[in-house]
């Protein structure tokens, strides 16, 4: 077991900006988020702006880049929408802008933005993301993610916010079928859950996320720090795996 303060954490799932739901506390600005990260001993974070989720992705995507600029510990992500409504730039333009703005991962909020996760809706975009290995952080139930992966089995998908109950019966069949399905740990606080996952499928399929501000980061950090796994696996989940995912993304 490791001391949480001795681990180096790269958070894959946290947000700043005004929050519309009841949470204990949130960070209105990038500076406030950095203060929360300092308090929790989180070194770096892959972030989104709450406007990406609760306002409109086009508004939020611009804000997360602008407001995180100059903060070397924060790495912006963008939210996606289906192309049929023409609310976001054409795909090639989007990819070029991602490279220009240093965005190497994307997020989908299907419940908040009201769209399906299927081939009809995403056929024109997902094949490109799959080929380019661009990580997609999807806030959705596993059955909806499974629908998407049936059509695009090699997508790099990171899923979290699945609740704190055991996921084995839902997750393990999907883990075995889809090689690039990855779970983040913000809500997975089951006793022995990380240990069993690493034993069966290796630590490469897990990455650390705090889930802030929906969750406080301390529980996920302590669960990982105290998990009975090797220090190599612990470092991989806390830091290395997310770095690898971002490095593997190919942008034009």
Give the domains, in start order, of the chain with CATH numbers.
4-248 (3.20.20.140)
Is residue 60 pLDDT above 80, yes or no? Answer: yes
Please count the other Cβ atoms lying within 10 Å of the Cβ belonging to residue 111: 12
Q: List the structure tokens of 36.
A: 């929360």
- Calpha distance 149→156 (Å, rounded): 10
Task: For residue range 204-248, list pLDDT tens digits in order.
Answer: 999 999 999 988 888 899 999 999 999 999 999 999 999 999 999
CA nearest neighbour of 61 among 71, 69, 51 = 51
Share of residues in the chain with pLDDT > 90 (%): 83
- Calpha distance 119→11 (Å, rounded): 30
What is the pLDDT of the chain when averaged over all its residues?
93
Bridge pairing between strands 44-49 and 206-207:
unpaired
- Under 8 Å between Cβ of 193 and 165: no
Higher pLDDT, 26 or 134: 134
- Calpha distance 150→91 (Å, rounded): 22
CA nearest neighbour of 239 among 46, 28, 37, 82 = 46
Task: For residue range 66-104, list pLDDT tens digits in order.
Answer: 999 999 999 999 999 999 999 999 999 999 999 999 999
**Is the peptide bond prior to 84 cis by the omega test (within 30 degrees of 0)?**
no
At residue 5 the predicted structure's pLDDT band, cuts being 50, 70 and 90, is low
- Calpha distance 201→158 (Å, rounded): 15
Of the listed ranges 42-46, 62-66, 184-188, the one predicted with least confidence: 184-188
- Under 8 Å between Cβ of 238 and 208: yes
Task: Name residues whose C-beta falls within 8 Å of residue 16's C-beta, 6 or more positions apart in sequence.
Answer: 26, 27, 28, 29, 30, 32, 33, 47, 49, 50, 67
pLDDT score of 4: 59
- Calpha distance 49→74 (Å, rounded): 11
pTM of the predicted protein model: 0.94
At residue 165 the predicted structure's pLDDT band, cuts being 50, 70 and 90, is low
Task: For residue range 173-205, list pLDDT tens digits in order.
Answer: 999 999 999 999 998 888 888 999 999 999 999
Is residue 145 pLDDT above 60, yes or no? Answer: yes
């Amino acid at each position: 077991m490791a001391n949480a303060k001795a681990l180096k954490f790269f958070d894959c799932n946290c947000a700043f900006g005004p929050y519309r739901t009841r949470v204990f506390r949130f960070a209105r600005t990038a500076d406030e988020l950095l203060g929360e990260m300092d308090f929790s001993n989180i070194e770096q974070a892959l972030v989104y702006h709450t406007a990406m989720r609760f306002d409109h992705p086009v508004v939020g995507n611009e804000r997360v880049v602008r407001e995180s600029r100059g903060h070397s510990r924060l790495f912006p992500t963008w939210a996606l929408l289906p192309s049929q409504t023409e609310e976001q730039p054409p795909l090639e333009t989007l990819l070029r802008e991602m490279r220009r703005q240093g965005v190497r991962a994307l997020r989908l909020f299907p419940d908040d933005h009201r769209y399906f996760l299927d081939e009809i809706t995403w056929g024109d975009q997902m094949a490109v993301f799959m080929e380019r290995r661009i990580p997609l952080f999807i806030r959705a139930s596993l059955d909806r993610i499974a629908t998407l992966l049936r059509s695009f089995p090699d997508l790099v998908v990171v899923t979290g916010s699945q609740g704190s109950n055991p996921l084995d019966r839902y997750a393990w069949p999907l883990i075995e079928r889809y090689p690039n399905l990855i779970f983040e740990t913000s809500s997975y606080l089951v006793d022995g859950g990380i240990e069993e996952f690493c034993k069966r499928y290796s630590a490469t399929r897990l990455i650390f996320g705090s889930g802030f501000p929906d969750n406080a980061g301390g529980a996920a950090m302590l669960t990982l720090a105290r998990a009975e796994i090797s220090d190599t696996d612990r470092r991989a989940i806390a830091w290395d795996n997310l770095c690898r995912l971002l490095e593997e993304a190919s942008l034009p």
